[in-house]
C-alpha cells in the first residue's frame, strides 16, 4: 500500500486517502525525518501534517507539469475577476 513518503516534494497528486473517500488534490511541500506537510487543494486550501508511514489507499495520478499549470491558471482567472469586482 502506498504511503505519504512515496509522494515527491513540489508535485501535485490526486489521491484517495481512504477507501471510498473523495478524490483530493494534494501537494507535499516539506518533509522532516518523520513527517510530511501537505497542502490540500479544496474549496479552502489547508495544510496538514502526515506521518511518512501513513497509508494512502490510492495514488490515482501524479499531475504533469502541464496539468499543474492548468489547475493554477483556473484560480488565477478567478482572482482577476474578484479584483475587477472590487474596483
pLDDT tens digits along 27-40? 999 999 999 999 99
- pLDDT in the model for residue 82: 53
Residue with the larger pLDDT of the pair 85 and 8: 8
Q: Which residues have C-beta within 8 Å of that of residue 13, sequence separation ≥ 6?
A: 7, 25, 26, 27, 59, 60, 61, 62, 63
Q: Are 31 and 9 in contact (CB under 8 A)?
A: yes
How many domains are there within the chain?
1
Domain that holds residue 35: 4-86
**Using one digit for the tens of pLDDT, what is the confidence trace for 18-71?**
999 999 999 999 999 999 999 999 888 999 999 999 999 999 999 999 999 998
Amino acid at each position: 500500500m502506498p504511503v505519504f513518503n512515496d509522494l515527491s516534494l513540489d508535485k501535485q497528486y490526486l489521491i484517495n486517502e481512504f477507501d471510498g473517500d473523495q478524490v483530493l488534490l494534494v501537494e507535499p511541500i516539506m518533509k522532516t525525518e518523520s513527517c510530511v506537510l501537505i497542502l490540500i487543494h479544496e474549496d479552502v486550501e489547508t495544510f496538514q501534517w502526515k506521518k511518512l508511514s501513513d497509508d494512502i489507499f490510492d495514488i490515482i495520478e501524479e499531475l504533469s507539469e502541464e496539468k499543474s499549470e492548468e489547475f493554477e491558471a483556473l484560480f488565477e482567472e478567478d482572482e482577476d475577476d474578484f479584483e475587477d469586482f472590487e474596483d
